[in-house]
Homo-oligomer: A and B are copies of this chain.
Amino acid sequence: MIMPMKMLEENLNKHVALLLKDNRILEGVLSGYDEYMNMVLEEVEENAESLTRRLGTVIIRGSNVVRIVPK
């Protein structure tokens, strides 16, 4: 058994892809998170409505997160 929060911990400083409720996808290095699944991603590339943008560092509010895929 691996707790979801433990899984986040194991992916610290690694590449992950975040799917948000509005279908936005953020790919970047996971540099932090908290108990609400608020997250800090760095070197982010965002895909939304077939548009790609480089965003650098991003703070994401956990309530918008659908799923996280380690890369």
Residues of A near any B CB (own CB < 8 A): 1-8, 12, 20-24, 26, 31-34, 37-40, 55-70
Q: Would you give 14 A-B contacts (Cβ < 8 Å), ordered by A?
A: A1-B32, A3-B40, A4-B32, A4-B40, A4-B59, A5-B38, A7-B40, A21-B64, A55-B69, A57-B70, A59-B69, A61-B65, A64-B66, A64-B67
Q: Given A66-B20, A67-B26, A31 and B2 touching (CB < 8 A)?
A: yes
**Which residues of B lie under 8 Å from residue A59 when comparing CB positions?**
4, 7-8, 67-69
Number of copies: 7
State whether B5 touches A34 (Cβ < 8 A): yes
Q: Contacts A4-B39, A21-B22, A34-B5; is A61 near B67 (CB within 8 Å)?
A: yes
